[in-house]
Structure 1
């Protein structure tokens, strides 16, 4: 992601303490106020730039995990379910953008971040939900921070797994050792305070990602993985592993942390959610890519799919090795960009107000300490549970079910809370309640299944020790 894309990302988070005021009752006077016309943007993005940012935010480690997701769901079920989840996610993103616009209109402000929009929407909803306005903003911040740190954990595991695949023929070391080796460079890179300094590295990461994907597709179309020769494809999967598939697809498809920020930073924001606008176009491309990589990757590997498709490329092949190295470098750079987000949320919203009166040197030291602490936290979590695929499923189900489905449904219900009931609004409320239930079921089932699978993944190791 380039500097502009990442700076847009950071607009999606804010201090919940500033966003808990209820929506004023101005239903009659807000009709003449269009938030889009009052936005003052120094460097707004055009439609194509916004589309590129949306694609970049959604094309990361998630797409490399899609073949394993299909192995858990079955080929036919995986294709159908990915399309359906894509439609669900796209609809919920539209709901989120509309609810944010309605909240801006009622408060008569040009734009709001996700936490601010959530607090404002609930503050103008049913009386039972108005008390939840401030907790809702805090919850959005918590889920955003947990999700971004979860991505960083996934990235550490991904980098270590792929480096291990490259160097194993020469030095066979545990994956945790590789994590420890990259920890120092990660901390040093994460101490860079300016996104402007990271912009050239981000551009390099973009090139590596797209070139690497092209080469991976070439390998997947060339034939089957040797270990999968003669193995029959599972077309329908099982209900037991489907929640893991759901969490992985949510993690892969949902760019909820940046959607409001992207729309807020557009030169023509009305084009974002139009029928043939940026969101629908981008999500269509993303779903097609994910279905294609998931399906052909599963046909290539069958049940022998690794957590990342890069780990299934031929060993010793120079071109395959170059792809692994490219993705490892690209994800290394992306780690620092993603870790920048929770640093900004925690620093500006929670730490800086407590050290504001300190000397500049002390403030800078506190900021560096926060950056190092978050980096160490993600390292400890990744080393404790070095299971890339299960990490992806866990954070997808836990955070994105809430951020991508539950909160948008609640926000739409609240901003359309009727002073005069109507049949159309009753249908809308029924739909939002159904979406909220789907999100809760996905959160609970996906999180539970991922946690159980993580525990089970360690059991064979524990059982082998006594036998030895």
Structure 2
């Protein structure tokens, strides 16, 4: 679902990011808690000042899933062809949805066992390790820290992708109006560094929240303009390949997973629902949202690829003719939208990094340490963008490496660990299913990263 999908949810309370301490989980857990857990309903013990309705939760989840990642779908189809792209997107959408289901379901069930109202991603991982197979329980704290850092670097990787899109979009506009300019990609990255350093120093979330609504409006307007250009002078459907070389499929899979996977946002949405039992199930908020997401992603990928073919770039806005006013507006809109999205996204990993490092910093140096931390990570994302300037390749690499692990492999491992001593179902179907998902996720990770690196080396 995520991204460029968003990993922060804007609600009435601002961006929700799980910061609950797992210390509330009973460290003296005993097996009898499994029997007692049936008496505890985490949903009834949640105390929320402003719980979200099903409709609002659907809107939050849809908003986070339909980010600028949808604009990368034509580039994904370039690595699959039309028919393979359509069925591949649907299948990957189902797999991603099921893995999200596993994460949320496991979080709900382990909340019953540990008698905690709600848990975030990292807290769910620690709770599963703490109450799972005995040999693995000593790794519970390490597992939480590991997932925390993995989530932080995943979002920072997405921020680097945003910088690349910013630079490429601005370069197109400048090159159109100043044909003889000699500005390089690195120069553009350096120019963006100053405003990014300024805005990423904002630590008050209320000051960032309005930027999210503005960015969403700009993205919606950009989406409509892109559809206008796609549907204008639509080419013959038979002119493009129905499938491509199988060696390109890892790039397709990585791009789709990056665009579609919003694993960091589902638990915050579920945790703030008035009726969290409506999140899963059929139809359920999750299934309805993902059905809409998969449908829109498939349509945009197919139509955009048919329109621009092998010239499809990492964002379809880069294919629009800069000389025309609507296209120029779309490029300006995406520049502003991505800039504000960057600052909002950046808030979440900084919260994660700070809560894992602040105990090592003296109280009087907290403010200085946070400023330095934010500056360092901002600079790192800009350096990454300057080093790897090809947008579609970085998207594939990010999706294959980070989102394959957090979105496919980790939820399957958690589901398997939770059920290991509680029953794996008839014919051990949970074991078989989760192993298949883990193997598939590992394949996506290894093959996607390998192919992305090859493409980066080939075009460098």
TM-score range, shorter chain: over 0.9
C-alpha change, 1:269 and 1:423, in structure 2 (3 Å) is closer
C-alpha separation between the residues in 2 aligned to 1:103 and 1:281?
Answer: 25
- Checking the alignment, whether the CA contact within 8 Å between 1:46 and 1:266 is kept in structure 2 is yes
Report deviation, 1:348.
1.7
- Checking the alignment, whether the CA contact within 8 Å between 2:13 and 2:50 is kept in structure 1 is no
- Checking the alignment, whether the CA contact within 8 Å between 1:5 and 1:53 is kept in structure 2 is no
C-alpha separation between the residues in 2 aligned to 1:8 and 1:413?
Answer: 31
Question: Residue by residue, what CA displacement relative to the aligned partner does 1:212-262 show, whole Å, maximum 9, x if unpaired?
Answer: 10111111011259xxx9993011112111001111000011110011111
Question: Residue by residue, what CA displacement relative to the aligned partner does 1:368-413 show, whole Å, maximum 9, x if unpaired?
Answer: 1111111001001111111111111111111111111111111111
C-alpha separation between the residues in 2 aligned to 1:102 and 1:257?
Answer: 18
Structure 2: gaps of 5 or more residues: 1-7
* Correspondence 1:115-134 to 2 at 5 A: 115-134=122-141
**1:152 to 2:159 alignment:** yes
**1:405 to 2:408 alignment:** yes
Bigger mean CA deviation after superposition, 163-172 or 327-336: 163-172
Please point out which of 429, 445, 448 is paired with 1:446: 448
* Correspondence 1:264-279 to 2 at 5 A: 264-279=271-286
C-alpha separation between the residues in 2 aligned to 1:422 and 1:414?
Answer: 10
Matched with 1:43 is: 50
* Correspondence 1:233-382 to 2 at 5 A: 233-350=240-357, 352-355=358-361, 357-359=362-364, 362-382=365-385
Bigger mean CA deviation after superposition, 54-63 or 334-343: 54-63
Matched with 2:218 is: 208
**1:192 to 2:195 alignment:** no
TM-score, scaled to structure 1 = 0.91
C-alpha change, 1:38 and 1:19, in structure 2 (3 Å) is closer
Report deviation, 1:445.
1.1
Report deviation, 1:167.
1.2
Matched with 1:53 is: 60
C-alpha change, 1:20 and 1:238, in structure 2 (3 Å) is farther
- Checking the alignment, whether the CA contact within 8 Å between 2:412 and 2:434 is kept in structure 1 is yes
Question: Residue by residue, what CA displacement relative to the aligned partner does 1:12-68 show, whole Å, maximum 9, x if unpaired?
Answer: x66788889585421111111111110011221111221111112112232111101
C-alpha change, 1:431 and 1:193, in structure 2 (3 Å) is same
C-alpha separation between the residues in 1 aligned to 2:448 and 2:253?
Answer: 7
CA RMSD of aligned residues (A): 2.2
- Checking the alignment, whether the CA contact within 8 Å between 2:163 and 2:189 is kept in structure 1 is yes
C-alpha separation between the residues in 1 aligned to 2:330 and 2:384?
Answer: 26
* Correspondence 1:382-461 to 2 at 5 A: 382-419=385-422, 423-424=425-426, 426-458=428-460
- Checking the alignment, whether the CA contact within 8 Å between 2:24 and 2:116 is kept in structure 1 is no
Task: Name the SS of the counterpart of 2:282 in structure 1.
Answer: coil
C-alpha change, 1:230 and 1:38, in structure 2 (3 Å) is closer
C-alpha separation between the residues in 2 aligned to 1:149 and 1:326?
Answer: 22
Report deviation, 1:9.
4.1
C-alpha separation between the residues in 1 aligned to 2:386 and 2:188?
Answer: 10
Matched with 2:116 is: 109
C-alpha separation between the residues in 2 aligned to 1:46 and 1:231?
Answer: 45
- Checking the alignment, whether the CA contact within 8 Å between 2:121 and 2:267 is kept in structure 1 is yes
C-alpha separation between the residues in 1 aligned to 2:22 and 2:375?
Answer: 24
C-alpha separation between the residues in 1 aligned to 2:292 and 2:28?
Answer: 38
- Checking the alignment, whether the CA contact within 8 Å between 2:10 and 2:60 is kept in structure 1 is no
Q: How many residues align?
A: 449
Report deviation, 1:131.
4.0
C-alpha change, 1:406 and 1:22, in structure 2 (3 Å) is farther
Please point out which of 225, 228, 233 is paired with 1:218: 228
C-alpha separation between the residues in 1 aligned to 2:415 and 2:307?
Answer: 42
Report deviation, 1:454.
1.3
C-alpha change, 1:23 and 1:263, in structure 2 (3 Å) is farther
Structure 1: gaps of 5 or more residues: 459-468
Please point out which of 76, 79, 93 is paired with 1:72: 79
C-alpha change, 1:246 and 1:18, in structure 2 (3 Å) is farther
C-alpha change, 1:81 and 1:258, in structure 2 (3 Å) is same
Question: Residue by residue, what CA displacement relative to the aligned partner does 1:121-165 show, whole Å, maximum 9, x if unpaired?
Answer: 123223443344333222211220111001100000001101111
**1:183 to 2:193 alignment:** yes
C-alpha separation between the residues in 2 aligned to 1:367 and 1:245?
Answer: 38
Question: Residue by residue, what CA displacement relative to the aligned partner does 1:171-212 show, whole Å, maximum 9, x if unpaired?
Answer: 332222222212111111111111111122221111111111
- Checking the alignment, whether the CA contact within 8 Å between 2:176 and 2:322 is kept in structure 1 is no
